[in-house]
Chain A
Amino acid sequence: MQASRLLPYTVFSLLSSIVLGSLWLTRPDHSLWQLLGFYPDRILWLPFSDHLLSLLIVPWLLSLVISIQPRVNTLYALASITALSLAGEILQVSMVGMTFDIFDCVAILFGAALTASIFRAQLTSNNSTHRKITLALATTFTIPFQFACDYRYCSDDKPEYCDRIIWLSWDEIRTDIVPEYGDTMTLTRPGKLLSDSAELIVVDRYTGFHLFDTSDKQNPLRIAYVPLHGVTDVTTDGNSLYANAYNDIVILPIAPLRNRTFNPGDERRIQDQITFPPYTLIGDSNFYDIRPADRDRLENGDYGVAISREFSNGDIVEYGAYTYVAEPEDPEEDSGEEAESEVPESSAPTGPIEVEGWN
């Protein structure tokens, strides 16, 4: 095969690599990835990344068309692809989930002009038969590409497409402990136990633990509730309680908790000893539907711990437990109320243990 015959394939391969790389880095929600069944996990914000694909579309599709049919009418193909791309962009004005951007139109035209200037020697205008083939090929590839991009991605400009994250800051997490004595608090997420014949500690996962007097087995009596953010486990050496609290180890003297003399600050906190990435409890490492500011916090870990994530479809993950908003099976029987089903954490089918991936 002559070198000139290889040129279109080479150009097409090169441009394809650039287009796919750009898609991977800047369009994780592109239909191509959904079609292939895997998803890049974050958006990289390159300079002009919003318009890079618009710039590339004309030269890339032209190289594709020429690769398929070398005898194509190249001038006509260039014009067709440019016109169809512009039309597709303009049509997005009225399409839900799409965003018209005048700079995309400029990028398309610029890409077309650039292509024409570089390949002007190869641009030919042949007979009408080839024009039909050219138009067919241009239409086949331009239209799907133009509308494959789902622009409902989350950004600072489009917070409505972002998942809502609820945070606990390090200051909130590490605030002095103030026990609540008596039977005032309720058990929310019962977890691990620590007990003797007369007393029982029940961990309320990620929020604190309850101390019960169990000397009367039929009537366990709450002595105190100890709020402690991030706790999932408690142990003892006989004098103190040792607990994990997200990244920290916390030590509390037992006697003051029993006799109600515990003062805020009596606990001892050893910070940053335990691995607990700030995204652990929101259960999904895909960050592309998270606001850039939240994403930075999740990646840097310098703000606190994300305790809840509300997805744009209404599903919620809170403290590692998912609540799905089920779609009604029969709209006619739908009472109008949202059906929710709570799915226990991944490692605890019947209740209260741990989220897979950390513990």
Chain B
Amino acid sequence: MNMYNKAALAGVTTLLLCACGAEDNQESGTGVSKAVAGSTAALAFQNGNFVLLDDHRIVSYLLPEDAVAQLNDTYSIPDAETIFPEGEERLYIGSEFGVTILDIDADGKFTFIGEARHLASCDPVITDNSTMYVTLRVTNGCNRTTGRNSLNIYDIEDPAYPVQLSALELSNPYGLAKLTIQTQNETDNETQQEQLWVCTDDGLTKVDVTDPAAPEVVTSYPEILCNDIIIHSANDALLTGNGEVSLIDLSSGTPVIMGTIEKGD
């Protein structure tokens, strides 16, 4: 390995990586206290409220330790399946018909911010600052007749009016997570590559979304099947699916399975 490659490798750092915006280099030992869930989560804790999806609506609770649980608010969202919390109060709800963007205040009240409608399909969503990534699939109870299989990318600079930037056809995409890799080139200029790792029927798929208007499939790994992925950092990611959980390292650009917890383990 030459010096430049070593320098590039050493310079690999990760920024916002995982489905819930966890930062890199979290201290070990914090455990699930600062844990994150995958993009298919249907529960969340946001702005002091416990939030869950229940029968075509989202519900917020205040659950004080020594007092009666309090149902704060409900908001109707037909066929909602996933919750993605971002920041202090933002919630992105993936449903069969689109993504609903809500804010939740400290009292648990929901405020509608915006909505991105799409053809009836299902449905995880993640965001990274001003960009929203949504996977749409049509199998397994989702809409087979009018739906589509794709990764849709939206500009949410103004979350009240999400603007679709692109749609990339994928094979039944499901859970997804984002990884930002910064490298230094020979002239010490920093370059940044935005990678989206998506669980598809073709296996774990790496998509280059550096230009969100023109996403490109880099490669798929058919031997790695998954439903959902969590990325803490380039060398700390998890996959679930195919009856097992895998701990993987993405720092080389290729997923390397470090350990697995299999059904029956």
- Docked CA distance A200–B261 (Å): 11
Say yes or no: A359 contacts B53, CB within 8 Å: yes
| Minimum CB distance partner of B248 in chain A | A217
> Interface size (A, Cβ < 8 Å)?
62
- Please give the distance in Å from A329's CB to the nearest CB on chain B: 26
- Docked CA distance A251–B69 (Å): 11
| Minimum CB distance partner of B263 in chain A | A187
Per-residue B-contact encoding for A224-260, CB less than 8 Å = 1, 0 else? 0000000011111111011110000101001000100
User: A270 to chain B: which residues have CB within 8 Å?
Assistant: 61, 63, 69
Say yes or no: A219 contacts B230, CB within 8 Å: no
| Minimum CB distance partner of A203 in chain B | B240
Say yes or no: A242 contacts B54, CB within 8 Å: no
| Minimum CB distance partner of A356 in chain B | B141
Contact A217 B258, CB 8 Å, known A190-B244, A244-B52 = yes
Say yes or no: A244 contacts B43, CB within 8 Å: yes
What range describes how many residues of B lie at the interface?
35 or more
Contact A188 B263, CB 8 Å, known A193-B238, A349-B172, A350-B225 = yes
Q: Indicate if B30 sits at the interface (CB-CB under 8 A).
A: yes
Say yes or no: B261 contacts A199, CB within 8 Å: no
- Docked CA distance A357–B53 (Å): 13
Q: Indicate if A214 sits at the interface (CB-CB under 8 A).
A: yes
Say yes or no: A199 contacts B172, CB within 8 Å: no
Say yes or no: B29 contacts A249, CB within 8 Å: no
- Please give the distance in Å from A32's CB to the nearest CB on chain B: 30
Q: Indicate if B32 sits at the interface (CB-CB under 8 A).
A: yes
- Docked CA distance A220–B34 (Å): 18
- Docked CA distance A238–B236 (Å): 20
Q: Indicate if B35 sits at the interface (CB-CB under 8 A).
A: yes
User: A275 to chain B: which residues have CB within 8 Å?
Assistant: 54-55
- Please give the distance in Å from B106's CB to the nearest CB on chain A: 13
Q: Indicate if B166 sits at the interface (CB-CB under 8 A).
A: no
Q: Indicate if A346 sits at the interface (CB-CB under 8 A).
A: yes
Please name 13 pairs of A and B residues whose Cβ atoms are closer than 8 Å in the assembled complex, sorted by A: A192-B240, A198-B30, A202-B261, A217-B236, A218-B259, A233-B43, A233-B52, A236-B32, A236-B35, A249-B61, A258-B31, A273-B71, A346-B140
Q: Which B residues lie at the A interface, using CB under 8 A?
A: 22, 26-38, 40-45, 48, 50, 52-55, 59, 61, 63, 69, 71, 81, 122, 139-142, 172, 199, 201, 225-228, 230, 232-233, 236, 238, 240-245, 247, 249, 258-259, 261-265
Beyond A235-B43, A244-B43, 13 additional contacts (C-beta under 8 Å) are A187-B264, A192-B228, A193-B238, A196-B32, A196-B35, A198-B29, A217-B249, A234-B43, A237-B48, A251-B63, A270-B61, A273-B59, A352-B243
